[in-house]
Amino acid sequence: MRRLACLSLVVLASAPVHAGVEDTFGLGPRAMALGGSYAARPGDFAAAYYNPAGLARGGSQGEHGGFFELSAAHLFAAPRLYVTRSDGSELETPGEPTTTGVLVGSRFSLGQPFDLDGLNMGLSVYVPEHLFRWSIRPDDDVQWALLTDRTQVVTANASVGLRLAPWLSVGAGLRVMFDVETLTRGRVTDVASDPETGKVRTHTVLGTDARVFGRVAPLAGVLVTPRDDLRLGLTYRHESYVDDWGDTRITDVPILRHMGYTHRFAHYFEPTQVTAAVSADLAPTLDVSADLTFSRWSRALSTNHNAQFSPVWGDTWTPAVGARWAAHRALGVLGGYRFQKSPLGNYGGPSNLLDNDRHALSLGLESALEGWLTPGFDAKLNLAIEHVLLVERSETKDYRRFESDAALADNPGYPSYVYGGRLLAISLGLEARF
């Protein structure tokens, strides 16, 4: 009896990105307009991600009694990317989809029923047009590692903030993600010779048992409000990714009898992050903020769990600044800037994962509708536009990192290429307080 032939593989996966939609474009139009500089800006649902302590405002602005805030925003973003080989030809990548999604957020008093001021909850759910979308390719395929998939996945944050004292608020929460297990079982029902390929062609009936499990990553924050016009924030977010595993087995295969493989992928890796931030009211109509985020990308996983031709990941520091000017009673102008160092390098090796340093410049408008459109309706309209420039980068294959000349010549990125591009994002949102 012939030995059973079974192909086993551990494939990994996931398109790591800068912490999903939150770090790529910002959680909501206001955060986008401020360049993501938000860890020391308390008072709306976005604090559920940026700094849970910000759900409970400090200082003399602390809320009393019950309240309920609801926000909804639409996001659209389009990339224009290029990968050009040294001979001037364009290299194909799996896809550069546009991003379209809806963000719903809420912040409300959780302590009111318990006669406790300053205990608030914040929720956010980002629902893209494609609830999730990912492409698995070997790490040596030319592919954008952190730009295409990360804003194409449902994300949710749920946090609670508590004001311990007028000058001190703390908060904690969970970022919700998923794990996926897929077991595929099938059997061959028909066998024929394929004249085109010369192979034995089989027809199979495939069944599946697919399970999606919840996975949560904790986050926590502190907000210090020494004066009404000064706020200091500190946030910790733990790493997470979507673990995607399973196997496939097909029985009654001619010659081999059984055929199958095991897979394991990692999607949407998000590193452990620590953010320190400060915001200050420089004038009655002007406030500014600055954030600095350390991201532990050195523990990142490629979609293939770094098992095939691993790239090199490095920790990064990301500065961000934002400013808001109340130009009129009913109109505010916002602006922000963020520099995101790429955590990824191929360094001439077999992998061809693409990522660039990014300059993100953003502008926004904020209008209090109550002041001119809907008297008695405490609502705000927010608009933000962000332009992200990907600094051009080059990759030249180094023969010393390949096992053979043939492997070097067969590499899709041989001999060298340059890549870059830009992203343009726009977000429009409405938030109301009841």
Instruction: Based on the shown chain and the rule CB under 8 A, indicate whether residue 122 belongs to the binding site for another protein.
Output: no
Residue 19, phi then psi, degrees to nearest 5: 40, 50
Instruction: Based on the shown chain and the rule CB under 8 A, indicate whether residue 194 belongs to the binding site for another protein.
Output: yes
When the beta carbons of 104 and 389 are compared against another protein, the nearer one is 104
What does the per-residue mask of binding to another protein show for 40-69, with x meaning CB under 8 A?
------------------------xxxxx-
Q: How far is the CB of 320 from another protein (least distance, A)?
A: 30
Q: Which of residues 2-31 bind another protein (CB under 8 A)?
A: 5, 7-11
> How close are the terminal C-alpha atoms of the chain, in Å?
74
When the beta carbons of 413 and 420 are compared against another protein, the nearer one is 413
Bridge partners (DSSP) listed for residue 59: none
Q: Which of residues 293-312 bind another protein (CB under 8 A)?
A: 307-309
Exposed, middle or buried by CB within 10 Å (0-12, 13-18, 19+), for 2?
Answer: exposed
Applying CB under 8 A, among 78, 81, 91, 104 the residue interacting with another protein is: 104
When the beta carbons of 184 and 427 are compared against another protein, the nearer one is 184
Instruction: Based on the shown chain and the rule CB under 8 A, indicate whether residue 195 belongs to the binding site for another protein.
Output: no
> Residue 218 contacts by C-beta under 8 Å, 6 or more apart in sequence?
172, 173, 174, 175, 237, 238
Q: How far is the CB of 80 from another protein (least distance, A)?
A: 22
The DSSP symbol for 33 reads H
What does the per-residue mask of binding to another protein show for 199-238, with x meaning CB under 8 A?
xxxxxxxxxxxxxxxx------------------------
Q: Total residues contacting another protein (rule CB under 8 A)? A: 84
Q: Which of residues 161-190 bind another protein (CB under 8 A)?
A: 178, 184-188
Q: Could you give the CA distance from residue 231 to residue 208 in angstroms, rounded to a whole number?
A: 52
Q: How far is the CB of 216 from another protein (least distance, A)?
A: 11
> Residue 204 contacts by C-beta under 8 Å, 6 or more apart in sequence?
186, 187, 188, 189, 250
Supply the DSSP string of 183-247, one letter for each residue: EEEEEEEEEEE-TTT-SEEEEEEEEEEEEEEEEEEEEEEEEEEEETTEEEEEEEE--EEEEEEEE
When the beta carbons of 292 and 307 are compared against another protein, the nearer one is 307
Instruction: Based on the shown chain and the rule CB under 8 A, indicate whether residue 70 belongs to the binding site for another protein.
Output: yes
When the beta carbons of 226 and 254 are compared against another protein, the nearer one is 254
Q: How far is the CB of 78 from another protein (least distance, A)?
A: 18
Applying CB under 8 A, among 43, 138, 345, 348 the residue interacting with another protein is: 138
Applying CB under 8 A, among 254, 286, 347, 372 the residue interacting with another protein is: 254
* Tokens linked to 60: 């003399």
When the beta carbons of 262 and 367 are compared against another protein, the nearer one is 262
Q: Could you give the CA distance from residue 312 to residue 347 in angstroms, rounded to a whole number?
A: 8
Q: Could you give the CA distance from residue 358 to residue 17 in angstroms, rounded to a whole number?
A: 12
Of how many residues is the chain composed?
434
Q: Which of residues 77-96 bind another protein (CB under 8 A)?
A: 94
Instruction: Based on the shown chain and the rule CB under 8 A, indicate whether residue 379 belongs to the binding site for another protein.
Output: yes
Q: How far is the CB of 322 from another protein (least distance, A)?
A: 29
When the beta carbons of 129 and 398 are compared against another protein, the nearer one is 129
The DSSP symbol for 3 reads P
Q: Which of residues 268-297 bind another protein (CB under 8 A)?
A: none
Residue 315, phi then psi, degrees to nearest 5: -65, 155
Please say whether the beta carbons of 200 and 223 come within 8 A.
Answer: no
Q: How far is the CB of 350 from another protein (least distance, A)?
A: 9
When the beta carbons of 63 and 386 are compared against another protein, the nearer one is 63
Please say whether the beta carbons of 358 and 389 come within 8 A.
Answer: yes
Exposed, middle or buried by CB within 10 Å (0-12, 13-18, 19+), for 315?
Answer: middle
When the beta carbons of 7 and 274 are compared against another protein, the nearer one is 7
When the beta carbons of 315 and 370 are compared against another protein, the nearer one is 370
Q: Could you give the CA distance from residue 291 to residue 278 in angstroms, rounded to a whole number?
A: 7
When the beta carbons of 68 and 399 are compared against another protein, the nearer one is 68
Residue 406, phi then psi, degrees to nearest 5: -65, -40
Q: How far is the CB of 289 from another protein (least distance, A)?
A: 28
Q: Which of residues 402-431 bind another protein (CB under 8 A)?
A: none
> Residue 273 contacts by C-beta under 8 Å, 6 or more apart in sequence?
19, 235, 236, 237, 293, 294, 295, 296
Q: How far is the CB of 432 from another protein (least distance, A)?
A: 7
Q: Which of residues 311-370 bind another protein (CB under 8 A)?
A: none
Q: Could you give the CA distance from residue 68 to residue 108 in angstroms, rounded to a whole number?
A: 4
